[in-house]
Every structure is written in structure tokens, then in C-alpha cells.
Structure 1
Amino acid sequence: MMGIMADTHDNLDAIRDAVQLFNREKVELVIHAGDLIAPFTAREFQKLNAKFVAVFGNNDGEREGLRTAYRDLCILKDFREVSVSSRKFAVIHGMEEAIVNSLAKSGLYDVVVRGHSHKPEIINGETLVVNPGEVCGYVSGDRTVVIMDPDTLSHELIYL
């Protein structure tokens, strides 16, 4: 199992809740689709009992500080490719819809993971596009993540 999250925006209580859920569910990988915001958030993600992959979001202004704080967890970049259980995932924050759509239509990926809109959305197609919504809850009022089985691509949107 794997966890998918985005847009944590420094909300330490929400990050803690997500980490606890992922640890309780024994996920093996957590993908974060950007907007970590501050380096101090790395301490909470270090409590994960899973591999962690993340990308930068549009609000991640302190990139060098984030790279330093997260260096023991992952390498932060704007885009990541991840292979899990013979599935190929593209991970991007998703500010440009044309880029998200191009990744989804490229035929290169089984799943495109994105964030940015703060709205949970799962689009089933030849390529599955997953936006887990926002962990922070600042825009929608809801704190959400997705848990996915990478073998079957079955998924569940979970409200924290």
C-alpha cells in the first residue's frame, strides 16, 4: 500500500495526523505532490515508517532550506518518476494543467500524482490522475489523503 498527499502548508497537526494514518495502515511509500513550505516540517515526515518521495510546489520558496532539511528523506525536485509494483508514477505539483494533461496522455505513466488545486480529484482513464486534495485543510476545510494499492490501482480518499 502507498499513501498520496499534497499541500500540507506547514500544518503540523494535519501532517502528524497523516503520518499516523500512514503508519497505522502500514504503507510502504508516501508520495507528496508539493507545497511542503518550511524546512521544519521535515521533522514530522521523519516519523514515517515508509519511503518518502516529494516534489516542490509553487509555494515552496525556501528551496535550499527544504533540500537541506529533507536530504535524509528524499531528493526534492520539480518532477519525479517513481516505479512501484511494475507501475510507473509521474509526480508533479500540477500548476500547469497542460503539463498534467500531457503527462496523462503521454502513455508513459500508469498514474500521474498531482496537487495544487486543494481539491481531491481522481480521473480514471488510460492513465489514472490522482489529486489527493489538501492535507492542511486551509482552503476547503477538509484534510484529505489517498491510500492506494499500487498493484491494482484501487484507491480510497480518506478524510483526516
Structure 2
Amino acid sequence: MSKIAIISDSHDNLTNLKKCVTYLNNIKIDFLFHCGDIVSPFSLRILNELNCDYRAVFGNNDGEWLMLNEISNGRIFKPPYFFEIYGKKFIIFHEGDIVKYIDKSIDYVLFGHSHKVLIDKKETQLIINPGSLAGYLTDIATFVILDTESNNIDIIDIDTI
């Protein structure tokens, strides 16, 4: 089983980011995607405490691209970012305005920006917005755990862990 965490819009909320990383390390996820708006390089020090690898894309609030890239050891990319892992194809954005145009050969389309959870399906393709890890704008802080074998998606409210 391959468990992948999907987070977005952490916006320097260090408390929620630390809580999320601790939880993910405890359940032993295999990989993590961050869909943008990490914001400041110091937030990556917490993300780097993950016991697994990760990839991220820059969001519209990420300002210090060089330092973010340096602290992440080159794991943050300009969107759209294509990545293949566990025999599955992923494409990651921050803003999801082009989601409906993504070819159906991509298994998972991941994005953030709206701070609202969205789980949708286009034939066999899953489209996932994990909401906002920071909890700003919507007053709920969420992230997603995806099982790539069963396509089961768990939406996790940070206040419940």
C-alpha cells in the first residue's frame, strides 16, 4: 500500500505544520505533495522533518524562491509539475484554473489555492484539492491522505489529530 499525503496553503502556520508532520510520521506515510503557498523558508525546516520524501510547487504567496529551493534540497518546482511515483502519474499546481484541461492519462491532478477541499473524478482521474493546512479563510485546516492502490481518500481535519 502506498500512502501519500497531500497538503497545500500552509502559509507559515508552524503549529499546524508541525502537528501535520508529527501525525504523518506516526502513520508512516510513503510520500508527500505540497501544492504551494509554503510562504517562508523557515517553514521548510519543519517539512524537512518528514520521515519520507516530498515534492512541492510554488504558490502565489511564495516569495523567496531561491531560499525555499535551497532549504528543500531542490524539491520545489514551478507549476505545473509532473511526477511519477508508484506507477502513478501526478500533476501538481497551485491554482486549479486549468484542471479541466488535463489529459485523462494523468492519474492524479493536485492543486490548492482556494483553501477549500475538493475531491472530483474525471473518468479514472482523481482531482484533489486538500484545502488549507493553515486554516485561514475557511476556519478549517485540512489535508488529505491518498491510498494509491485503492484510491481511498481520507480528508483529515487538523483539529482531530
Paired with 1:101 and 1:124, the residues of 2 have a C-alpha distance of: 10
- 1:40-119 alignment, distance < 5 Å: 40-71=42-73, 74-95=75-96, 97=97, 99-103=98-102, 106-119=103-116
The answer to whether 1:144 aligns with 2:142 is yes
Deviation at 1:124, TM superposition (A): 1.9
Matched residue pairs, number?
155
1:16-55 pair list within 5 angstroms: 16-55=18-57
SS for the counterpart of 2:119 is strand
1:124 aligned counterpart, secondary structure = strand
More strand by share: 2
- The TM-score with structure 2 as length reference comes to 0.91
Measured in 2, the distance between the counterparts of 1:119 and 1:34 equals 14
Q: Is the 8 A contact 2:58 2:76 kept in 1?
A: no
SS at match of 2:71: helix
Instruction: Mark the runs of 5 or more structure 1 residues left unpaired by the alignment.
Output: none
Tell me the C-alpha RMSD between the 2 structures.
1.3
Instruction: Give the secondary-structure state (helix, strand or coil) at the position aligned to 1:2.
Output: strand
TM-aligned CA deviation for residue 81 of structure 1:
1.4
Per-residue CA deviations over 1:90-115 (Å, capped at 9, x if unaligned) read 111125x1x22112xx1230110000
Instruction: Say which SS state the counterpart of residue 82 (structure 1) adopts.
Output: strand
Aligned equivalents of 1:66, 1:84: Cα separation in 2: 23
- Distance in structure 1 (CA, Å) of the matches to 2:99 and 2:61: 18
Provide structure 2 residue ranges, at least 5 long, that are not aligned to the other structure: none
TM score, norm. by length of structure 1: 0.92
3-state secondary structure, aligned to 1:13 = helix
Distance 2:153 2:93 in 1: 19
Distance 1:75 1:135, change over 3 A: closer
Q: Distance in 2 between matches of 1:133 and 1:159?
A: 10
Percent of pairs with identical residues: 35
1:115-126 matches, cutoff 5 A: 115-126=112-123
